[in-house]
Amino acid sequence: MALPKYTETRYRIWHYFYIAICTFVFIFLIAPLFVIFPLSFNAEEFLVFSEGMKNLDPDAFSLRWYKDMVYGTKNPWGLAAKNSFIIAIFATLGSVILGTVAALGLSSRHMPFKGIIMATLISPMIVPLIISGVAIFFFMAKAGLAATHTGIVLAHIILGTPFVVITVTATLSGFDHSVTRAAASLGSNPVNTFMKVTLPLILPGVISGGLFAFVTSFDEVVVVLFLAGLENTTIPIQMWTGLREQLSPTILAVATCLIVLSTLILISAELLRRRSERLRGINR
């Protein structure tokens, strides 16, 4: 972004002002995540930087809250983490399967009523979560699935499929359909064609949709607050209760773990995106 030498002073000033604004916004976006890191190693119980921490005194840091998170007697994090992972994995599987199959149908040029069906399929993404929460709760209560894992998994499938539908249809938009016809002409049945030809080609889209679905389920708190009983507590629910009642440093330890997890997810999503862009480039 170097400026040419002939730039007038006022544009020069404007340019530095613009860079300053951008720097501020980037700090605003990313800095909050970094406050959590050091504080989660705090030796004391307060959520402020102690004098010792400011002087980088090694005694002021400890793994106390991480130990509390894992071994703490009254801490529900173990159960919550187990539930969260189970629910998120099944919800992701469900969303990916239903969403991918639907996306295949949607991107066929023979699909009737495409507009209205697409709108219905992605509606859970557009409708405010609180309303989805109320509606899904009514259904689950009637079906006797409130406060069960099955109910929460189904709810998260509802919320997760729009992401899969969108990413997979986007991937399929650059898909060359002559390869499936080639497979068919070589005697492959549709299922075999899908598994051997289509799926490997759209896999980046499917996985990135799956990542969206996983994060949606893993993070989801509004709907799950309506549905969950004591047995189905998840990490977001525990964080929510913790943040409402007492802000203990254990929460920060959990939050740090979650940031690490989201960094991993971000890296895999980025790699997938680049791969899929490359693939689409080849198809063109």
Partner 1 sequence: MSSETKQILTTDGIPLEISLKKAERKNKIKAFLLVAPLLLFLIITYIFPIGEMFTRSIDDKMITNMLPKTFKSMETWDGKELPSEDVFASFLSDFKILVEKKEHGKLAQRLNKEKNGFNTITKKLFRQVKRNKIDETQSIKEQIMKVHKRWRNVEYWQAIKRTAPPYTSAKYLKAMDMYLNEDNKITQVSEDRRIHRILWLRTVEVAFFVTVFCFLMGYPIAHLLATLPMKYSNLLMICVLLPFWTSLLVRTASWMILLQQQGVVNDFFVMIGLVADDNRPEMMYNKVGTYVAMTQILLPFMVLPLYSVMKTISPSLMRAGKSLGGTPFVAFWKVYFPLTIPGIGAGCLLVFILAIGYYITPALVGGASGTLISNQIAYHMKTTLDWSFASAMGLMLLGGVLVIYWLYNKLVGVDNIKLG
Within 18-37, the residues that bind partner 1 by CB under 8 A are: 18, 21-22, 25-26, 28-30, 32-33, 35-36
> How far apart are CB 85 and partner 1 at their closest, in Å?
14
Q: What part of residues 138-177 is at the interface with partner 1 (CB under 8 A)? A: 138-139, 154-155, 157-158, 161, 163, 165-167, 170
247 binds partner 1 (CB under 8 A): yes
Number of residues interacting with partner 1: please give it, by CB under 8 A. Answer: 84
Q: What part of residues 208-227 is at the interface with partner 1 (CB under 8 A)? A: 212, 215, 218-219, 221-222, 225-226
User: Both tokens of residue 29?
Assistant: 């976006």
Cα–Cα distance for residue pair 85/223, rounded to 1 Å = 17
Alpha carbon distances (Å) from 235 to 64, 137, 219, 232: 20, 20, 8, 10
Terminal Cα distance for the chain, rounded: 32
85 binds partner 1 (CB under 8 A): no
Are 267 and 220 in contact by the 8 Å Cβ rule? The answer is no
Q: Which is nearer to partner 1, 63 or 127 (CB)?
A: 127
Q: What part of residues 112-141 is at the interface with partner 1 (CB under 8 A)? A: 112, 117, 120-121, 123-124, 126-139
- The H helix count followed by the E strand count for the chain is 13, 0
Q: What part of residues 34-73 is at the interface with partner 1 (CB under 8 A)? A: 35-36, 39, 47-49
Q: Binding partner 1 by CB under 8 A: which of 43, 93, 197, 265?
A: 265
Residues near 120 by beta carbon (within 8 Å), at least 6 away in sequence: none
> How far apart are CB 74 and partner 1 at their closest, in Å?
20
- Beta strands of 69-180 (E only): which ranges? none
263 binds partner 1 (CB under 8 A): yes
Are 121 and 162 in contact by the 8 Å Cβ rule? The answer is yes
2 binds partner 1 (CB under 8 A): no
228 binds partner 1 (CB under 8 A): no
Cα–Cα distance for residue pair 245/217, rounded to 1 Å = 24
Q: What is the DSSP code (8-state) at residue 248?
A: -
